[in-house]
């Protein structure tokens, strides 16, 4: 059983007892922190938002620390330009204490459904089970293109270009043939 959690815009794969180093959190040492699950895998995989709401992943703040120093040096040759800077990331060490929540499924309805279809061939039973699980689909209503709102353009030129229709190609105009004058020498 494991989960993928999000913290500080990054995702981490965790199991119970996993130690994580994440960006600094606003919590004191020893506090419990709830982590946001992105995926959970126990008996089955949970990816949908409604299923993930039921899952609770808790971690304890072990300590606050700082990362290694990163040296930044900017330099432009023959220009007399150089800059030095450094950076150390503020980090928090977490230990995952509990995974789980409402990810359990009821096994009783499945057994009851299996008992009902024992006398039928397996192919028919599978088809009926698929029909029960799949919701009835309603035919989609057709919407006209004129009723749909146009996507917002980012600039004025894009708006003007979207408002104008492309010009239709016109055939090249035919030039009248000049009449030749008679030059017989008379």
pLDDT of residue 22: 97
**Whole-angstrom distance, CA of residue 15 vs CA of residue 25:** 20
Question: Is the separation of the CB atoms in 19 and 95 below 8 Å?
Answer: yes
Q: Please state, in angstroms and rounded to a whole number, the distance separating the CA atoms of residues 116 and 119.
A: 8
CA distance 156 to 182: 61
Residue 185: both structure tokens together: 């020498």
pLDDT in tens, 76-129: 999 999 999 999 999 999 999 999 865 444 444 444 444 444 455 555 666 666
Q: What string of H, E and C letters represents the secondary structure of 22-50?
A: EECCCCCCCCEEEEEEEEEECCCEECCHH
pLDDT of residue 66 exceeding 80: yes
Report in angstroms the alpha-carbon separations of 81 from 74, 85, 87, 120, 159.
8, 14, 20, 83, 43
Does residue 148 register a pLDDT over 60? Answer: no
Residue 8: pLDDT band by 50, 70, 90 thresholds?
very high
Position 96 scores a pLDDT of 96
Where does residue 42 rank: exposed (0-12), middle (13-18), buried (19+ CB within 10 A)? middle
pTM: 0.51
Distance CA 103, CA 83 (A): 54
CB 38 within 8 A of CB 11: yes
């Amino acid at each position: 059983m494991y989960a993928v959690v999000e913290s500080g815009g990054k995702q981490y794969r965790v199991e119970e007892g996993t130690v994580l180093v994440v960006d600094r959190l606003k919590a004191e040492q020893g506090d419990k922190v709830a982590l946001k699950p992105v995926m959970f895998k126990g008996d089955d995989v949970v990816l949908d938002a409604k299923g993930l709401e039921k899952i609770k992943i808790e971690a304890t703040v072990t300590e606050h620390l700082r990362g290694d120093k990163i040296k930044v040096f900017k330099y432009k040759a023959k220009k007399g330009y150089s800059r030095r800077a450094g950076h150390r990331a503020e980090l928090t060490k977490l230990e995952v204490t509990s995974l789980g929540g409402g990810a359990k499924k009821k096994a009783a309805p499945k057994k009851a459904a299996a008992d009902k279809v024992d006398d039928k061939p397996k192919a028919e039973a599978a088809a009926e089970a698929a029909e029960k699980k799949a919701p009835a689909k309603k035919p989609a209503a057709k919407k006209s293109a004129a009723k749909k709102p146009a996507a917002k353009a980012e600039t004025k030129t894009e708006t003007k270009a979207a408002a104008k229709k492309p010009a239709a190609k016109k055939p090249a105009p035919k030039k009248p043939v000049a009449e030749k004058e008679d030059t017989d020498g008379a």
